[in-house]
Amino acid sequence: MHIKGLIVSVLFGILPAACGSPQAADGQGASATAAQKTRLQGAGSTFDMPLFSKVFEAYQQQSGVQVNYQSIGSGGGVQQLTVKTVDFGATDFPMNDEQTKTAEAAGGPVVHVPVTMGAVAIGYNLPIDNLKLDGATLSGIYLGTITKWNDSQIAALNPGTKLPSTPIAVVHRSDGSGTTFILTSYLSAVSPEWKEKVGASGSIKWPAGIGAKGSEGLSGQVNNTPGGIGYFELSYAKEHNIKSALLKNAAGKFVEPSVDGAAAAGAGAAANMPPDLKAVFVNAPGDTSYPISGFSWIVVFKNQPDATKGKEIVDLLNYTVTQGQQFAATLYYAPLPKAVQDLDLKAIKSISVAGQQTTH
């Protein structure tokens, strides 16, 4: 599947209206318009784009509802929801206090609905396989203190591998990014120096490297740069045939990014979800847990004033967290555990539509 920044959806009913069809003349056009479904607009996470492309297409085929989604980054998705440019945002970081207050002032409380779990691959462009890294080396690379691929710290993790002296070309996101939040949360968890100097956020002042916009841009930059290294949802690494590093997890095991690794990492979070569903589970325990994994959320206003559109948003959320999960694994995402699906359905029921509580 080719990943694009914008889903191209079918526009229902345009041709008859534009052409002045006989149906419109004899009154049947009115009934066709009445049968037409709502069009929903969403924006945000590039991490989610491969999954959303498939889920929203399948939902449109089932329901007739057109869902247009722009992968502009988590920060952009949150911002566009806040100013009501879109019906829903998608983000790989839970909204912080400042964002929440801004959104509440604009449209009331916001509901966070986890829609998937995924692994952030550390992709690299070198003529070697199975490169091993740990938290210390990865933080050193992104801090700019490790600058050559044959650095002694990297070599110590890869005995018997002939590492080139190629300069490390660090690539990071230039836009507000939930994938950045997941990565920097991990680095803050494993590196005191990173935590002190940089911290965890979707937008940071990068100590080293060059920026690229979106997961599409970042993975493309790594793919085209000898010695490059970057981070993106696993599906982007698979699509571009980019090699992914094996990372040392909390149990001391080197693991590759995978659906099973993300699921193992998220298992503990699923069992201990906070009431607002804003769980972060980087560097999770367990022999098979992949350490840079996380949830992604759809965020919507809890109070939906438009009866028609509000119902369609609720139906889309219900589909995404249940039936839509069937598409996750083949696209390199971890399906939501049943326990999280149940919590999602409860959160979705808290959404009011035109003043009425959701009943399904």
Residue 355 and residue 351: Cα distance in Å, rounded? 9
Q: Is residue 278 part of a domain?
A: no
CB proximity list for 247: less than 8 A, separation 6 or greater: 122, 132, 133, 134, 135, 138, 254, 255, 257, 290, 291, 292
Do 84 and 23 share a domain, yes or no? yes
- Residue 273 to residues 97, 124, 222, 280, 317, Cα–Cα distance (Å): 19, 33, 35, 9, 19
When divided into structural domains, the chain yields a total of: 2
Which two structure tokens, joined as six digits, stand for 175? 């836009």
| Rama region for 248: left / alpha / beta (φ>0; ψ in -120 to 50; rest) | beta
Do 199 and 298 share a domain, yes or no? no
pLDDT of residue 55: 98
User: Which residues in 130-253 belong to E strands, given as ranges?
Assistant: 132-133, 169-173, 210-212, 228-233, 243-244, 246-248
Note the pLDDT tens digit of each residue in 78-112. Answer: 999 999 999 999 999 999 899 999 999 899 999 99
Do 131 and 231 share a domain, yes or no? yes
Do 98 and 200 share a domain, yes or no? no
Do 53 and 74 share a domain, yes or no? yes
Do 313 and 266 share a domain, yes or no? no
pLDDT of residue 162: 96
Do 325 and 345 share a domain, yes or no? yes
Do 193 and 256 share a domain, yes or no? yes
59 closest CA partner among 115, 119, 13, 4: 115
Q: Is residue 9 part of a domain?
A: no
* Domain at 325, CATH number: 3.40.190.10
Flag whether pLDDT at 34 surpasses 90: no
Do 128 and 267 share a domain, yes or no? yes
Q: What is the DSSP letter of 149?
A: T
Query: Could you list the residue range(s) of the whole structural domain that residue 351 is in?
Result: 14-118+294-357
Final residue of a structural domain among 271, 303, 319: 271
Q: Name the range with the highest mean pLDDT among 235-249, 263-277, 344-358.
A: 235-249
Q: Is residue 284 part of a domain?
A: no
pLDDT confidence tier of residue 360, bands split at 50, 70 and 90: low
% of the chain with per-residue pLDDT over 90: 84
Flag whether pLDDT at 14 surpasses 90: no
Q: Is residue 31 part of a domain?
A: yes
Do 108 and 124 share a domain, yes or no? no
Q: Is residue 228 part of a domain?
A: yes
Final residue of a structural domain among 231, 256, 271: 271
pLDDT of residue 340: 96
Note the pLDDT tens digit of each residue in 153-207. Answer: 999 999 999 999 999 999 999 998 999 999 999 999 999 999 999 999 999 999 9
Q: Is residue 277 part of a domain?
A: no
Do 166 and 209 share a domain, yes or no? yes
CB proximity list for 111: less than 8 A, separation 6 or greater: 299, 300, 301, 302, 347, 348, 350, 351
Q: Which amino acid, residue 152? A: S
pLDDT confidence tier of residue 30, bands split at 50, 70 and 90: very low
Do 27 and 56 share a domain, yes or no? yes
